[in-house]
Amino acid sequence: MQQIINFIIRYKNFLLYIFLLMVSLGFTIQSHSYHQSRFFNSSNWISGNIYETSNNFFSYFDLAEKNKKLVEENHRLRDQLFNFKLPDTLQLDSIQRTYTITTGKIIKNSYANPRNYITINKGRSDSVKPDMGVITDKGILGIVENTSGNFATVQSILNENSNINAKIKNSNQFGSLVWDTKNYNVVQLTDIPRMANLTVGDTIVTGGMSSIFPENIPIGTILKFDLNNSQSLYTIDVALFNDMTNLKHIYIVNNNDRAEIIELETETQNND
């Protein structure tokens, strides 16, 4: 207590000055509307910035949860997109769920080799099997090749052995999607017949002629095309929608009817 008294005595002139300054400022603000307005605007600006900074700070730590919810919502929407298509009879009770979707994450990705692979954090314990399709919210990535209990490797579309059925959107012109190993942003669509009507910028999508990918999954857009006159077929350079160097969240697509389709096709071939 004695120290406080000594402090007040020692700095009495300064403390008196501060007190009188605060009193005078108070009278000035109360007696002049302009100063009053400036005072409250300044207070609002300071408090607003404090609240904004605080909100940004706590929002940063909430990003992971929000991102998880967005992935789950995309999962539900894609599940509906693949499966809830009205048949010709328009009977809702006859709709069959052909595809199921599993979400996952990429833990390793290569794109600079002739044979690139992607490792994902889902495996046999998540019902992931070889020959399931893998996509993102922008387009296709590849096909599951091998699985372990908790992980799987995916043959990327950036693989010289990759061969996926694809077509020009809104047409029935089908071809094979391959990669010439030259550019990780560009793949090639081959075996498109000469009569196809092509325009730079047209969208390329999955063809649905295989039992792996649903039809009309985005792939990319036509960058350029060349005609092989001897074969009367086009080779098309396709600019990918996916940035193959920056991938994280994925969707694993399972065709529930695939085993039946493969069994039927095998039986048919064996009878020939």
CB 130 within 8 Å of CB 146: yes
Structure tokens at 158: 């950036």
User: Going by C-beta distance under 8 Å and a sequence separation of 6 or more, which residues neighbour residue 20?
Assistant: none
User: Going by C-beta distance under 8 Å and a sequence separation of 6 or more, which residues neighbour residue 201?
Assistant: 221, 222
Q: Give the 3-state secondary structure of residue 10.
A: helix
pLDDT band at residue 11 under the 50/70/90 scheme: low
What tens digit of pLDDT does each residue of 58-107 get?
455 555 665 665 666 665 555 555 554 433 333 333 334 688 888 899 99
User: Going by C-beta distance under 8 Å and a sequence separation of 6 or more, which residues neighbour residue 204?
Assistant: 166, 167, 168, 169, 177, 189, 219, 220, 221, 222, 236, 238
- Asked if pLDDT for residue 39 goes beyond 50, the answer is no
Give me the pLDDT at residue 44, please.
42
Structure tokens at 111: 């794109």
Least confident of 73-77, 94-98, 125-129, 194-198: 94-98
CB 122 within 8 Å of CB 104: yes
Q: Which residues pair with 193 in a beta bridge?
A: 233
- Asked if pLDDT for residue 56 goes beyond 80, the answer is no
CB 106 within 8 Å of CB 120: yes
Give me the pLDDT at residue 26, please.
64
CB 234 within 8 Å of CB 197: no
Give me the pLDDT at residue 149, please.
92
Please give the Cα distance from 25 to 194 (Å, whole number): 85
Reported in sequence order, the residue ranges of the chain that DSSP labels E, i.e. its strands, are 99-109, 115-120, 133-135, 140-147, 152-159, 164-168, 174-178, 186-193, 203-206, 218-228, 233-240, 249-255
Give me the pLDDT at residue 204, please.
95
CB 118 within 8 Å of CB 141: yes
Span 54-61, average pLDDT? 51
Q: Per residue in 157-186, is it b (16+ CB within 10 Å) or e — as a string?
A: bbbeebebbbbbeeeebbbebbbeeeebeb
Q: Give the 3-state secondary structure of residue 97.
A: coil
What tens digit of pLDDT does each residue of 200-253 get?
999 999 998 888 998 889 999 999 999 887 778 999 999 999 999 999 889 999
* 269: exposed, middle or buried (Cβ count in 10 Å: 0-12, 13-18, 19+): exposed
